[in-house]
Amino acid sequence: MYGSWVILLILALSSIPVIIVYIWFRLAKYKFSPVWFLLSLLTGAAAFFPALVLQDFLNFPIASSARLQLFYHVFIRIAFTEELSRLLMLFIFILISRRIAQKSGFSSDGIISMYAVSKGAATGLVAGLGFAILESAVYTDTGVLLLRAVTAAPLHAACGSRVGMAAVMFRTNPVQSFMRLFTATVIHGIYNIMIVIPGVPSIAAVLIAFSALISSVVAIRNGWGSEENPQISA
């Protein structure tokens, strides 16, 4: 276990992306209030706990093959459980917030707007940052500590963005919702593989994290480019 000063350093590094994203949203004048931003951040942090429960529940060997066991651990026990926990917490958060605001985000003919999907993506991105902060504070593998401190936030933000869209479309378009959960899990799993396999250049994990984040940022900007967005069938 590392000292408290290291934990503070990690928390400081993990908080930088949160500040950058908040400034971006404010400068771009997106309809994303400070209260919603904070609640999204806390929702992401809260998702860390059900993920721990699921990971503990799935902590058992499934095959004698080392490769199959590694695949199970990286993609199912880690990546899938974390993305599923994020989806659950974001779905609950969005559902409750809609009930309180008395806004469904959908038109009467069952069509969801691209603007609503983009807000879901932005909410998930912020939630991913909240998850990354808490995870980084308790992570104990000092061998990849510095690399994770730099790349965990972008990775979780990118995956969270996709899961945020999945949460918005969960009830109206379960197929698209599942596909976004699936892609988030795949990206997360590949990143984990790059981290744990010896001999794989660290730059590979960096490229995966930041390229996924860039695509999420572009999707949010395109969706929030105008309030009169096209709509997609639910």
What is the reported pTM?
A: 0.87
Where in the chain are the domains?
4-233
- Which residue in this structure is represented by tokens 């994770």? 148
Q: Please calculate the CA angle 137-143-149 and round it to the nearest 5 degrees.
A: 40
pLDDT of residue 114: 77
pLDDT of residue 101: 66
Q: What distance in Å separates the CA atoms of residue 203 and residue 213, rounded to the nearest whole number?
A: 15
pLDDT of residue 107: 38
Positive or negative, the Cα torsion across 166, 185, 159, 83?
positive
Nearest to 84 by CA among 159, 195, 155: 159
pLDDT tens, the chain, 234 aa long: 455 666 677 777 778 899 999 999 999 888 889 999 999 999 999 999 999 999 999 988 876 788 888 899 999 999 999 999 999 999 999 988 877 765 544 433 345 677 788 999 999 999 999 999 888 777 655 555 667 767 888 999 999 999 999 999 998 889 999 999 999 999 999 998 888 777 667 788 888 999 999 999 999 988 886 554 444 433
Q: Please calculate the CA angle 152-154-159 and round it to the nearest 5 degrees.
A: 95
Angle between helices 114-138 and 34-46 (to 10 degrees): 50
